Amino acid sequence: MQEQTMVFKVTEKAVEEILKVAKENNIENPILRVRVVPGGCSGFQYAMGFDDNIEEDDHVFEYNGVKVVIDKFSMPYVNGAELDYVVDFMGGGFTIRNPNATGTCGCGNSFTCG
């Protein structure tokens, strides 16, 4: 059986912002962990934060010095997704464009997968 290729994209703007936040927090080699956790009004929500470790079964993606790690449970839910940083009239923030999400809640902070 052929193993499925896992993909998680990070835009240049998101990389810039991750590096900026890492520098503000004196983190020299940033490892950003992206997770999918049960919760929210639609069933799942995203969690992100800096980590010190890469686990053996993590999927690791590297973009311009930023390592993005996704655990084995979360990867199928975000395979093919893209992390971006957007600025609009409400301010700025990270967003994940996820082709696997079949629905989202009204606030946009949680999602369902079919």
Asked if residue 2 belongs to a domain, the reply is: no
Domain span at residue 43?
8-113
Question: What is the number of other CB atoms lying within 10 angstroms of the CB of residue 17?
Answer: 20
Q: pLDDT of 46-70, one tens digit each?
A: 899 999 999 999 999 999 989 999 9
pTM: 0.83
Whole-number Å distance between alpha carbons of 106 and 109: 8
Largest CA-CA distance found in the chain, in angstroms, rounded = 48
Asked if residue 3 belongs to a domain, the reply is: no
The per-residue pLDDT for 58 is 96
For the chain, the domain total comes to 1
CATH code, domain carrying 27: 2.60.300.12
Which stretch of 16-25, 32-41, 61-70 has the lowest confidence by average pLDDT? Answer: 32-41
